[in-house]
A = this chain, B = another copy of it.
């Protein structure tokens, strides 16, 4: 099964293969009674929103659905009925343009909300694909909407979540049009690390669940540029790369790597933090792979 096939969206796998055998799910240790259903309280907890104080335990039960890597949670054009909340696993959200090229929009993971883009036209504008086996909570929009009318806080949380998503996309737009390739990749790694950290995993060592091609699509780069940039960071001693295994060694350097400023007045930095790789660093600087450091940081290094 090729999760890379672009235009061809075979429906070899049903979008919703409901109800598998009950498994002890929740790889991240989220509390679970071995069930396939979650309460409203569970859902709120997962989304990090306060549970409505007056909520009673029979307000709703939400079905879990499991997807295997490669399966689609929803496809473009599919009638919008449900929102989805990721309970475990790793996915990608993609747009398919008029020529069948896929554009990765996000890499949702535990606690993320999917399907919001379907509200507008009542059809999904994007598709969500599992990159690993996933456990997803299915929230019928009608049910959720009704609950929102009962519990004002819930509705408010929904507005808040949508607003957050909007802000996130704005930041994405800004990044896409303003940053260099190195800065994009550096930020990508930093953000991914932070997200893993928030889930209780290491924010320094983690596995990329997506291909270089998918990273490139997400960042507006080619897979070769992504690969080269990772290699460069590796040689620099900022990270370690072994296939999809990433280790972040110098998070500060990653976080402060920026786009080349309009002025060509960038000071040729000759000495960098980590001594054991400094010669490689200067080699890289000579090749202009380190366009600029945050100025105050750069000066603090000399």
Measured CB to CB, the residues of A under 8 A from B are: 95, 97, 99, 101, 103, 105, 116-121, 125-126, 145, 148-149, 152, 155-156, 158-160, 162-167, 169-174, 176-178, 217, 219-220, 258, 261
Check B158 against A159 for contact (C-beta < 8 Å): yes
Q: Which residue of B lies closest to A95 (CB)?
A: B174
Give the top 10 A-B pairs by smallest Cβ distance, nearest first: A177-B220, A119-B163, A120-B163, A169-B169, A120-B164, A103-B174, A176-B176, A162-B162, A125-B167, A117-B167
A103, A166, A172, A261, most chain B CB atoms within 10 A: A166
Assembly CA distance A88 to B187 (angstroms): 39
Check B117 against A170 for contact (C-beta < 8 Å): yes
Check A163 against B116 for contact (C-beta < 8 Å): yes
Assembly CA distance A160 to B164 (angstroms): 16
Check B169 against A166 for contact (C-beta < 8 Å): yes
Q: Which residue of B lies closest to A177 (CB)?
A: B220
A14 to chain B, nearest CB (A): 25
Check A105 against B170 for contact (C-beta < 8 Å): yes
Secondary structure at the A interface, as helix, strand, loop or mixed, is helix
Assembly CA distance A101 to B164 (angstroms): 22
Assembly CA distance A159 to B159 (angstroms): 7
Check B174 against A172 for contact (C-beta < 8 Å): no
Check A117 against B162 for contact (C-beta < 8 Å): no
Assembly CA distance A32 to B208 (angstroms): 57
Cβ of A219: which chain B residues have Cβ within 8 Å of it? 177
Out of B99, B162, B170, name the residue touching A125 (CB < 8 Å): B170
Out of B155, B156, B163, B172, name the residue touching A162 (CB < 8 Å): B163
- Jot down 24 A-B pairs with beta carbons below 8 A, ordered by A: A95-B171, A95-B174, A99-B261, A103-B173, A103-B177, A105-B174, A116-B166, A117-B170, A118-B163, A119-B163, A120-B164, A120-B166, A121-B167, A145-B156, A149-B152, A149-B155, A155-B155, A158-B159, A162-B163, A169-B169, A172-B173, A173-B173, A176-B220, A177-B219
Q: Which residue of B lies closest to A166 (CB)?
A: B117
A152, A162, A163, A219, most chain B CB atoms within 10 A: A163
User: With contacts A155-B155, A165-B166, A166-B165 known, is A178 near B117, CB below 8 A?
Assistant: no
**10 additional contacts, CB 8 Å, given A101-B178, A162-B166, A176-B177?**
A105-B174, A117-B163, A117-B170, A120-B160, A120-B163, A126-B170, A155-B155, A165-B166, A166-B166, A177-B220
